[in-house]
Structures are given as structure tokens and as C-alpha cells.
Amino acid sequence: MAAGLVTVLINNYNYGRYLRQAIDSALAQSYSDLEVVVVDDGSTDDSRDVIASYAEKIRSVLKPNGGQATAINAGFAMSRGDVICLLDSDDWFLPGKVTTVAEVFAAHAEASWVFHPLQITFADGRVQCNSTGNTHVVDERREARRGKLRGTAPPTSGLCFSRKLLDNLLPMPAEIRITSDNYLKLSAMSLAPGIYLDEGLAAQRIHESNAYTLRADRLPTQARIHLLIAQALKDRFPELARLSDKVFAKALADYIAAGESDAYFRTLILDYIRRSKFSGIADIVARTGYHYLKRHIVPHIKLAKSDLRS
């Protein structure tokens, strides 16, 4: 496909102190056929003043707080691009990112999405970029239907999609308030071929207000979000039932380990199991037990043995 108009879609909530760098990095791209859409998800800081200062240079959506999924949904509805590049408002694009991505889309007619590693940037100035190999085509569709995805993809700011693919994936359920990129990654990898581009074309900022990335206390949030993602995959893409069951089982193991007990999620869990085939239920039970032991019991046993030896 020819790339055509490219939309940079920035989602923001109370990151006014970082937002200007994100917007400037999008506006500074050398690619000429570009629009920048900024969605503010009910911020209570100075974010909306920052957005207003750009006037007609950007297209803005100012909405009540509803979470990242609703922000991306609203931004996509406002966008006009044939290609959508996502950007979290505390991150920024490196020069030349959009041109490079557009060239990849134009050169690979089979690709519905392009993704690349991020330059993880810490407050002390350290930069880390986890490259995983050469640029290549990624097609996990057959494996996904068997529930065996092998690949991984970066967070939001390393994801770019064709409009046609996002039309199929969106809107996301509003309940997926943070890390909704995990839904996008899983569904995109399962439903469409993509291109892994081995260049760190965007920077991910690690700071004290990160809601999820590298947080030691993220297990309960991780469990709840992935239960929601499993439910969304099951509802929207029945052909991915084996994959959604796998995501569900891992999330349920984490939910149990985190000691969570919430009426909403108890209902979600019971409803998911009730709607599963008997063979699927047996697989979910087995996988949940396996992941609980592997992720939450065995490490403690190993640690205890290590302490006894010391």
C-alpha cells in the first residue's frame, strides 16, 4: 500500500509537563502528508492549555476521563490518515520516524501494521534499546489460532497500523483503561501480517508517574487488564478462542496470586468460564494451575532453598 496521509495519534492524561515534547516531535517529522491528533482524556493539570497553544497546527479531542482505550477510540474516530502512528504523551518520536514507517508500508503491500523497538530513556540519562533482530515480516496468524503466539511487540509508541486494520480492531472496550496497547498488539499479531522494523524510532520515558511500565507493584493491574483483554478477544474474535483462553489462564493465575477479590471481576471470570466449551474449561484450569505454580510458587521455593544454602 502507498502510505498516503499519516496520522500521529497522541493520547494524554495529566502529562502536561511532557506533552509539548511529544507534540513537537510529531510536528517536526519530515514526512509532508501528516496530521497530528491529540486526545486529552479529562486532564486536571495544564494539558489543555498546552494543547490550545498549538491552535490549528493540530487536531484536538477534549473528552471526559474514560481511560486510554476510550482516548484511542476517540482519536481514531477523529483521524483521517491511511496509516496511524500511536504516541503516548510522555514519549516522543525521533526525527525521520514517520518517513521510515511510511516507506516500509509502501514497500510491503502485505503489511497491515509496522512496529519497532523503543529507546527506553531513564531519568538519570541512561538509554536502553532492546533490538530483537533484523527487519522482517511477522505473520503469526496460524499460530494464533492454535493459541501459540511466539512474537512480542513494543508498547504504544512503537506501534503503527493501517486504517483498515484499526477499523477491524476498534473500538476497544472502555474498561481497558490502561495498557490498552496489549489488546492492540495481541489482536494485530493474530489477525494480520506486519513488519518488525529493527530501528529504535521513538523514545519511551521512564519516570516516577508511570502507571505500569517497570513498576514492581503492577501484578494486580496486569491481572485485571489481561482478564479484560481475554474477554474482549473472546467476544470480538471467536476464531481466537484458544489464544484468549491462554491469555485468560495466565491472567487468572496472576489475579489469584495478587489476592484480588472484586465483584466485577468475579462476575467476569465466571461468565468467561460459563461461555467456554468443556474442553476449553479443562485447558483453562490446567493452564491456570501451571502458571500459578511456575510464576508464583516455584520462585519462592527456589529462593527458600537459596536462603538455606547461604
pLDDT tens across 188-227, in order? 999 999 999 999 999 999 977 665 555 657 889 999 999 9
Per residue in 222-251, pLDDT tens? Answer: 999 999 999 999 999 999 999 999 999 999
pLDDT of residue 291: 93
Domain ranges for the chain: 6-205, 219-309
At residue 138, what is the residue type? Answer: V
Pairwise CA distance, residues 262 & 124, whole Å: 38
Distance CA 107, CA 1 (A): 7
Name the superfamily (CATH) of residues 6-205.
Answer: Spore Coat Polysaccharide Biosynthesis Protein SpsA; Chain A (3.90.550.10)
Q: What are phi and psi of 279, to 5 degrees?
A: -65, -35
Q: Among 88, 291, 254, which Cα is nearest to 180's?
A: 88
